[in-house]
């Protein structure tokens, strides 16, 4: 969503590189470009003014003028200000001292409240809680049925005593839902309320009545991050009418400019607590202002990537692989298959790579990447026999042809996969020997990324090409040496002989000095 803003800011900072000192004109030009980037990204005008004023003030201070690298210091200032307008610090849910904790969802119709209720319920379930979803949206057609379906998919119970579609009292259902949670020993209640297409008195009154009836510990305002400047006005109206305690940004994976989402926390003075980043129930994460600022400035979000990896990768599998490598055994295709399964559990590969520093530089390759390539790789490996997976060296031409037919791929695809696997094997051997990762940075471009991903070097096709590029340039240039002295010898046709025992400067000992090789007349050297 913030790709356009990220590109503009990155281009602005490039203009500062190489300058040992920043003049006031340089700072003004940078601030002007930042202002344009924020306005183009749909950030609210009051927020833009406050942001750029703070950046300019700090950029002209001794903090930058005395820095060894002023450009990096300006990037740090912009990062700090982005963190501030995004809320400063992450805020967690406040749980009630005496369960159940009541969480009320509010927002306009179409903002994604019902789907978010399922996502939040599943996330809390994974945190060890026992949530209950309460269907209080009795106005929108099939809203109750939708919540039941979402709850079933999320593995969370739903309390829906009324059919909805205009039938039932939402305030009474909310009150009964809390009582149901107490009797069934649910420690969290998530109340899904009705929305409207726009702000009106009836909507605010119903939300206020539900709030007064259940006294929620948290009121989360769900806002569509794609609605533009209306996001700020809607958020302010709900802050005045319902007095919510936190914001949830939905549809953050959209292609809109999304700058209004940056404005909500600053305008309402309420923290952004969660972000919904996709359609799946697992596409939901706590919102961290510092990590989001790093993503916008193309500095990556490694901490979130590590957290996702910790959830996806099985500790037992990791320990088994470590023990295997320590025992001197080779990394085989069974291990490769296990790693691929863990990679799949982490979610979208595009999203994972987008969290890496510098990902904006390979955005076109990311967009062209086909997520189904992982399925094709897995199909090839699963078409092998257990013996072939353990001993990949036995894969001759006929076996590879059979594997290609069994997986619906071509022999070329099988050959490319085996080349990539061979590189992974070599990498594991070097790690086992304590030499570290070879050819860093480089873990290999992901399959389907074309010629390989920049900075990710070995899991892409075309390894022969990369080896060809790695060949000595001297051979392609006619065998010229990189040593200036040797080049001079080669130019005059004189080549050095290999050293042999008994000769200090090359050649046999009896040939170390031959007077007959001296010129007859030295007059040319004496200028005569």
CA distance 40 to 31: 14
196 is in an annotated binding site: yes
252 is in an annotated binding site: yes
108 is in an annotated binding site: yes
113 is in an annotated binding site: yes
Could you please report the per-residue DSSP string of 326-370? HTTPPP-HHHHHHHHHHHHHT--HHHHHHTSTTGGGGHHHHHH--
Strands (DSSP E) along 1-124, which ranges? 101-106
193 is in an annotated binding site: yes
Longest dimension (CA), the chain: 119
110 is in an annotated binding site: yes
CA-closest candidate to residue 177, choices 274, 239, 103, 230 = 103
Q: β-pairing, 272-276 with 157-159?
A: unpaired
195 is in an annotated binding site: yes
277 is in an annotated binding site: no
Task: Return the H-helix or E-strand segment holding 159.
Answer: strand 157-159
CA distance 335 to 317: 9
CB 174, CB 136: distance < 8 Å: yes
Question: Three-state SS for 219?
Answer: strand
417 is in an annotated binding site: no
CB 77, CB 59: distance < 8 Å: yes
Distances (CA, A) of 414 to 79, 207, 385, 457, 461: 45, 59, 14, 19, 11
197 is in an annotated binding site: no
192 is in an annotated binding site: yes
> Binding site membership for GTP: which residues?
107-114, 192-196, 250-253
Annotated binding site: 107-114, 192-196, 250-253
């Amino acid at each position: 969503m913030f790709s356009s803003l990220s590109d503009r800011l990155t281009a602005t900072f490039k203009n500062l590189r190489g300058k040992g000192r920043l003049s006031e004109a340089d700072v003004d030009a940078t601030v002007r470009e930042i202002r344009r980037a924020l306005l183009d990204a749909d950030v609210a005008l009051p927020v833009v003014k406050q942001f750029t004023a703070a950046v300019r003030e700090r950029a002209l201070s001794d903090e930058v003028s005395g820095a060894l690298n002023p450009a990096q210091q300006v990037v740090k200032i912009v990062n700090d200000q982005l963190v501030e307008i995004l809320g400063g610090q992450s805020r967690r849910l406040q749980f009630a001292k005496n369960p159940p904790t009541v969480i009320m969802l509010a927002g306009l119709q179409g903002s994604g409240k019902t789907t978010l209720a399922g996502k939040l319920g599943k996330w809390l379930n994974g945190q060890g809680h026992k949530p209950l979803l309460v269907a209080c949206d009795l106005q929108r057609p099939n809203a109750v049925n939708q919540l039941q379906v979402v709850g079933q998919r999320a593995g969370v119970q739903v309390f829906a005593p009324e059919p909805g579609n205009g039938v039932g009292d939402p305030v009474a259902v909310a009150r009964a839902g809390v009582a149901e949670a107490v009797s069934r020993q649910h420690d969290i209640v998530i109340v899904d309320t009705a929305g409207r297409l726009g702000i009106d008195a009836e909507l605010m009154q119903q939300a206020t009545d539900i709030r007064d009836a259940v006294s929620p510990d948290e009121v989360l305002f769900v806002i569509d991050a794609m609605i533009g400047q209306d996001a700020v006005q809607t958020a302010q109206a709900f802050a005045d009418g319902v007095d919510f305690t936190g914001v949830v940004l939905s549809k953050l994976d959209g292609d809109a400019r999304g700058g209004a989402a940056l404005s909500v926390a600053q305008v309402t003075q309420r923290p952004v607590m969660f972000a919904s980043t996709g359609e799946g129930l697992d596409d939901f994460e706590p919102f961290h202002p510092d990590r989001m600022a790093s993503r916008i400035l193309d500095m990556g979000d490694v901490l979130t990537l590590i957290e996702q990896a910790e959830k996806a990768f099985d500790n037992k599998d990791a320990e088994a692989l470590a023990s295997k490598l320590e025992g001197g055994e080779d990394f085989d295709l069974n291990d490769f298959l296990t790693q691929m399964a863990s990679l799949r559990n982490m979610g979208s590969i595009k999203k994972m790579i987008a969290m890496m520093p510098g990902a904006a530089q390979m955005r076109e390759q990311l967009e062209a990447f086909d997520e189904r390539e992982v399925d094709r790789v897995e199909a090839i490996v699963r078409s092998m026999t257990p013996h072939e997976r353990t001993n990949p060296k036995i894969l001759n031409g006929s076996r590879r042809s059979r594997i290609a037919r069994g997986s619906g791929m071509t022999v070329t695809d099988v050959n490319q996969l085996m080349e990539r696997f061979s590189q992974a094997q070599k990498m594991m051997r070097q790690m086992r020997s304590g030499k570290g990762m070879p050819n860093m940075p480089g873990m290999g471009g992901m399959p389907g990324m074309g010629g390989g991903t920049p900075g990710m070097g070995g899991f892409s096709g075309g390894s022969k090409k990369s080896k060809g590029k790695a060949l000595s340039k001297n051979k392609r240039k006619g065998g010229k040496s990189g040593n200036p002295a040797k080049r001079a010898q080669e130019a005059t046709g004189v080549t050095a002989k290999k050293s042999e025992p008994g000769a200090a400067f090359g050649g046999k000992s009896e040939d170390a000095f031959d007077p007959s090789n001296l010129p007859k007349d030295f007059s040319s050297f004496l200028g005569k």
